[in-house]
Structure 1
Amino acid sequence: MTAMTSTLTKELTVNRSDWATPPADADGWIARAHEVAAILATDAVERDRAGATPTAEVALLKEAGLVTLLGPTEHGGGGQNWITAYAVIRAVAAGDGSIGQLLGYHLLWFWAARLVGTREQIAAVEAAATQDRWFFGGAVNPRDSDVVVTDNGDTISYSGRKSFSTGSNVSDVTVLEGVLSTTGEHVFAIVPSNSEGFTFHDDWDNIGQRLTESGSVTIDNVTTDWASAAGFVDKAFAPRVYNSLNVPIIQLVFVNFYLGIARGALETAVDYTRSSTRPWLHGGFDRAVDEPYVIDTYGDLLTKLWAAEALADAVAVEQQAIHDNAWDVTAEERGNHEVRVAAAKAQATDVALEITTRIFEVTGARSTASKVGLDLFFRNVRTHSLHDPVAYKRREVGRNLLIGELPEPTWYS
């Protein structure tokens, strides 16, 4: 991280003895996530402008214990489920959308062993990841050509390039995925991010989510043991439906950090309207908070946010039932759930974009000053919401309603 005297950097020098013990329940973890968000929010605009590698921010997530939220309690983890995880992601994203995304992606990749690993691999990975507080990155962008996996006998090697690799430059381990050159089978593995053959390129230069370290990566003969190949036993893979749940999980991660960003935008705008927005000189009101159109706009935006949050929460509960039945979930259960995830994604995208745009209508022209930073919320949502077309999410919902079609598992559905 480049030299900077930000509030965050100062906060990290404080001995946070209240974080030494993990919270006892979900409410405690969510409260801690709000504490982290409050720290991040104090200089989010400054850090976005600096564009420095978020080393201190990841250290903050580790210090707060959020990186081990899903880890087994016997190894010092939070022992929480995805219902809590989504609420935590949403809370952190309200303070800084980039860090909310980093946390969300990390939690997905932390869970990757459960998605495709054997029971023995799951236990081993989660023990090590929790005890050592690994931070996960991933080099699995499906829009690029497949990484080639070579069977070397006792080891496998990955070679290729991915144009996006969120978090890997600040990660301890990276999830790799590629296609075995001999069989065409997909092979996932978790490897140290400092492994020989990785080159993380500092080329993420987008208008939003600027601190997610989402630049490209070159993978040149990165080698690991066959034992690291998730779900493989004696070089054979036993597929199950749960393998494909990575997409519904990551889409709900998106939903929740979009809604977190929207919540942060709305709360920041409210504070600005109360303290700084001037009433319209021809409106007849002494305070902006008394302007009827201001009241109506805020009421409309909060109502829509509450509705989107309620749907997201309901779908998270539905997904948890699938996690609880991971070894026996059916294709129909998975498909019906993906339709609901698609609906939540479409609504969250629309609501977050509307909130982060319309807040300017009720904060006034002076709120567009760079130092205010309201544009950060819009830039963050607009950038990531282009990850995959929201029209195809509505298509999944519409085709299910009209003809009962269930989405085929893909990298995006």
Structure 2
Amino acid sequence: MPQLVDAAQAAVASGPADPAAQMEALVREFQRTAVERDQQGGTPQAERDRIRASGLLHLVLPARHGGHGADWITAFDLARRLARVDASLAHVYSYHNLGVAIPRIFGSEEQRHHYEAATVREGWWWGNALNPLDRRCHLVADGDNYLLEGEKRFCSGSHDAEILPVTAVDQASGALVVLVLPGDRAGIRLHHDWDAIGQRQTDSGSVSFERVRVFRHEVLGSRSDAATPFGTIRACLTQLNLAHIFLGIVEGGLEEARACLLGQAAGGRSHDPHVIQLFGELWLQLQGAAALVQQAAVPLQQAWDRGPALTAEERGACALRIAAAKVATSRAGLDITSRLFELVGARGVTRGLGLDRHWRNLRTLSLHDPEARKVEVLGAWALHGQWPEPGFYL
């Protein structure tokens, strides 16, 4: 299919360790089993191991610790490329990249350097038990350290993860604090209770914590009362990451529909004027959403590079662009992936083709957080010039 959007705005160096080349090889490999694995659900263990072996777990980690030192534009673009064939793997892999950034945002310099170096040295995969709206986890003082009790929902990628970031309510202060725990710590129980229509290999079920020992150095900082705009940048990273996955899902679905049309031996459906017009309409829809996603990537990288010097206005401008990109990509994507069957015809509904997974995955992931809230914030900016207040999803 002709290139739908421009390439990533920042490329990594070519050569044997080129992350883009490594991801392209994995995408070709994973594409062969994507439909079957989507139908099976469960943990994509073999595929996670292949990502581990590739070295791509070190993508955004600094070169001084042995990482690739890639920027977020590159990281998001690689996740988008993977999402074209397997949105579940793109989800858990990109959440790992978001995870390794946590110590820089919430921790001390000492904690940041420790976790970055150890992740490269030990080959850790970072999971996720951060859900900030689920406040059933409580951190209780126990001598010089703590005990963690409670449960978290929607813990994507928690299975087979060596490191599990967690948010918990500090019983003493009431603050929502960020912890970093080994995934095999005694008292942590991972539940196989994820049963959604889409994103079926993300292990996004629940995790329970029963008197889990937490050492003082494993407590990073507060997520509820960030002292600086940079302390709230995690939400911007997560939202733009999701927008890129949405974009990849739609690109992959449209590419598969095109391959079906061009591969049909009889009927000449690809030459039907109505089919050509519909394909053009869907392609045009995608271009607008893709442009907004690309326009948001550079300000996000600039905000990340600013670090603690990031201002509230800079952060607000970045968040507005990301909100526009995510809403536009979700809306266009849900429409496009639901109309792929109009392009392909009756053959498009066969289970073996798996064309429906693109809509199911996007519908599932698009419910991560309320779209209406983003539109309201965009309206307040467009009408009154009002900057958005930082939040868990904005």
| TM-score normalised by the chain length of structure 2 | 0.92
Q: CA–CA distance in 2 between the matches of 1:317 and 1:330?
A: 16
2:238 is equivalent to residue 257 of structure 1: no
Q: CA–CA distance in 1 between the matches of 2:52 and 2:286?
A: 29
Q: In the TM superposition, what is the alpha-carbon distance from 1:376 to its structure 2 partner?
A: 0.8
Counterpart position of 2:308: 327
Counterpart position of 2:351: 370
Q: Where does 1:42-121 land on structure 2 (aligned, <5 Å)?
A: 42-121=32-111
Cα deviation code 1:175-211 (max 9, x no counterpart): 0111211111222121110011111110001110000
Q: CA–CA distance in 1 between the matches of 2:345 and 2:304?
A: 46
Change in Cα spacing, 1:226 to 1:239, as seen in structure 2 (3 Å) is farther
RMSD, matched Cα: 1.8
User: Alignment partner of 1:213: what SS?
Assistant: coil
Q: Where does 1:259-278 land on structure 2 (aligned, <5 Å)?
A: 259-276=247-264, 278=266
Counterpart position of 2:317: 336
2:339 is equivalent to residue 358 of structure 1: yes
Q: In the TM superposition, what is the alpha-carbon distance from 1:142 to its structure 2 partner?
A: 2.6
Q: Which of residues 230, 241, 245 in structure 1 aligns to 2:220?
A: 230
Q: In the TM superposition, what is the alpha-carbon distance from 1:30 to its structure 2 partner?
A: 2.6
Q: CA–CA distance in 2 between the matches of 1:376 and 1:213?
A: 17
Q: CA–CA distance in 2 between the matches of 1:77 and 1:96?
A: 25
Cα deviation code 1:370-406 (max 9, x no counterpart): 1111011111001111112222221111111111222
Change in Cα spacing, 1:296 to 1:201, as seen in structure 2 (3 Å) is same
Counterpart position of 2:168: 178
Cα deviation code 1:134-180 (max 9, x no counterpart): 11111122332341111223212221111211111121110011121
Q: CA–CA distance in 1 between the matches of 2:235 and 2:148?
A: 23
Q: In the TM superposition, what is the alpha-carbon distance from 1:241 to its structure 2 partner?
A: 1.9
Cα deviation code 1:114-134 (max 9, x no counterpart): 111111111111011122221
User: Alignment partner of 2:203: what SS?
Assistant: coil
Q: CA–CA distance in 1 between the matches of 2:232 and 2:22?
A: 31
Contact 1:189 1:230 in 2 (8 A): yes
User: Alignment partner of 1:184: what SS?
Assistant: coil
Q: Which of residues 29, 44, 56 in structure 1 aligns to 2:19?
A: 29
Contact 2:135 2:168 in 1 (8 A): no
Q: CA–CA distance in 2 between the matches of 1:69 and 1:83?
A: 12
Q: In the TM superposition, what is the alpha-carbon distance from 1:238 to its structure 2 partner?
A: 8.0
The more displaced of 389-398 and 241-250 is: 389-398
Contact 1:255 1:349 in 2 (8 A): yes
Q: Which runs of 5+ in 1 are unaligned?
A: 1-22, 280-286
Q: Aligned letter for 1:390?
A: E
Q: Which of residues 242, 250, 272 in structure 1 aligns to 2:230?
A: 242
Cα deviation code 1:273-328 (max 9, x no counterpart): 1112753xxxxxxx222111111122222222233222212211111111111111
Q: CA–CA distance in 2 between the matches of 1:328 and 1:157?
A: 34
Q: CA–CA distance in 1 between the matches of 2:356 and 2:237?
A: 28
The more displaced of 371-380 and 238-247 is: 238-247
Q: Which runs of 5+ in 2 are unaligned?
A: 1-11
Q: Aligned letter for 1:118?
A: S
Q: In the TM superposition, what is the alpha-carbon distance from 1:89 to its structure 2 partner?
A: 0.6
Q: CA–CA distance in 2 between the matches of 1:231 and 1:217?
A: 21
Q: Aligned letter for 2:216?
A: W
Q: CA–CA distance in 1 between the matches of 2:94 and 2:266?
A: 38
Q: CA–CA distance in 2 between the matches of 1:97 and 1:241?
A: 31
User: Alignment partner of 1:138: what SS?
Assistant: coil
Q: In the TM superposition, what is the alpha-carbon distance from 1:29 to its structure 2 partner?
A: 2.3
Cα deviation code 1:252-291 (max 9, x no counterpart): 1110111111111111111011112753xxxxxxx22211
User: Alignment partner of 1:188: what SS?
Assistant: strand
Q: Where does 1:148-163 land on structure 2 (aligned, <5 Å)?
A: 148-163=138-153
User: Alignment partner of 2:48: what SS?
Assistant: helix
Q: Which of residues 173, 193, 214 in structure 2 aligns to 1:203?
A: 193
Counterpart position of 1:409: 390
Q: Aligned letter for 1:218?
A: S
Q: How many percent identity over aligned positions?
A: 36
Q: Which of residues 293, 305, 330 in structure 1 aligns to 2:274?
A: 293
Count of residue correspondences: 380
Q: CA–CA distance in 2 between the matches of 1:346 and 1:210?
A: 23
2:176 is equivalent to residue 194 of structure 1: no
Q: In the TM superposition, what is the alpha-carbon distance from 1:240 to its structure 2 partner?
A: 2.3
Q: In the TM superposition, what is the alpha-carbon distance from 1:90 to its structure 2 partner?
A: 0.1
Contact 1:30 1:91 in 2 (8 A): no
Contact 2:295 2:321 in 1 (8 A): no
Counterpart position of 2:122: 132
User: Alignment partner of 1:158: what SS?
Assistant: strand
Q: CA–CA distance in 2 between the matches of 1:25 and 1:189?
A: 36
The more displaced of 168-177 and 222-231 is: 222-231
Q: CA–CA distance in 2 between the matches of 1:366 and 1:337?
A: 43
Q: In the TM superposition, what is the alpha-carbon distance from 1:362 to its structure 2 partner?
A: 0.9
Q: CA–CA distance in 2 between the matches of 1:408 and 1:312?
A: 21
Q: Aligned letter for 2:335?
A: E
Contact 1:30 1:87 in 2 (8 A): no
